[in-house]
Amino acid sequence: MPKNALVVGMPRSGTSLTASVFVKCGYFAAEEADGQLRGEDENNPMGYWEADDLIEANVELFRSVDYNEHNTWRFAAIGEQQGEQIGRLQPLDTHRRLVARYNEHSPWIWKDPRLCYTLGYWWQLVDQANTGVLVIRRDKDEIYRSFVRLDWREDSDENRREVYERIDQHMLAMERDLKRFNIPYLEIDYSDYKSAPEQTAEKLSQYFGLSIAAEDLGFEAKFNSSTLRGRVTDKLESLAFMMPEGARKGLKKAMPHSFLKMLFPKRFR
């Protein structure tokens, strides 16, 4: 049977694309009927594959160490000691039941950037023999540009330095838990989806016990803001967003859908 998957990485690093690969392979992500799963939007056209029950459980862990923000990348940084304390928390029965519910649907996938800080806590609760950790990395500048594109940061040298530092904090916290709990893991870089799809598919297949082909990875340059096509697409999307609603409706009526989809792949799918 394929291993369950914990996908760990910064926001905007390719974790959503990665999670979608597993979902296409039949992995359970959340109870859609209960509204647990965050849907797709123009920022993540392939979907987020984040379950609200996992997110809220991670936020609960943050609050247990007196970090009261909802996430660790758009708000104040979590303290190093606070992050270390999470792995020492006594597991809650509600969290044991959460894992048990997902085990009823194995293989399952968890994807939430908060796992950078909570991985060690959850590793004590999952079936370690049948669960794999997948670490996703991406170039810091590409992540930063994506933050700017989403208006999470204004473009400035100061903000660039701050985002770089925040990325380092998240990945160091994750690396600390990997070492501290002796967690086996597979690591890939987001760029591998484009530069080495066959090798990347083979790595995922072997580690998780799957049969993934390169075409199953679903990488599309038009959704990647670091490529020339992605940057052009983002500019067009911004123009479409600034149009009055009446103008957008008129454009939709006047042009063939295939042409609109080519110009605005995120807005007209």
- The pLDDT tens digits for 186-202 are 999 999 999 999 999 99
pLDDT digits (tens, 9 = 90+) for 10-52: 999 999 999 999 999 999 998 765 567 777 777 777 778 899 9
What pLDDT is recorded for position 9? 98
pLDDT of residue 179 exceeding 70, the answer is yes
What pLDDT is recorded for position 249? 59
Confidence of residue 248 (pLDDT cuts 50, 70, 90): low
What pLDDT is recorded for position 152? 95
What pLDDT is recorded for position 35? 61
pLDDT of residue 252 exceeding 70, the answer is no
Of the candidate ranges 2-11, 126-135, 241-250, the one whose mean pLDDT is the lowest: 241-250
What pLDDT is recorded for position 217? 93
pLDDT digits (tens, 9 = 90+) for 147-173: 999 999 999 999 999 999 999 999 999
pLDDT of residue 228 exceeding 50, the answer is no
pLDDT of residue 107 exceeding 70, the answer is yes
Q: Which residues pair with 51 in a beta bridge?
A: 37
Confidence of residue 268 (pLDDT cuts 50, 70, 90): very low
Distance CA 80, CA 172 (A): 10
Distances, alpha carbon 94 to alpha carbons 53, 89, 125, 235, 241, in Å = 11, 14, 11, 45, 42
Distance CA 96, CA 110 (A): 15
Mean pLDDT of the chain: 86
| C-alpha triplet 187, 101, 41: angle, nearest 5° | 60
Region class of 185: left (phi > 0), else alpha (psi between -120 and 50), else beta: beta
Distance CA 115, CA 49 (A): 14
What pLDDT is recorded for position 43? 75
Distance CA 264, CA 258 (A): 10
The pLDDT of 81-102, averaged and rounded, is 96
pLDDT of residue 237 exceeding 70, the answer is no
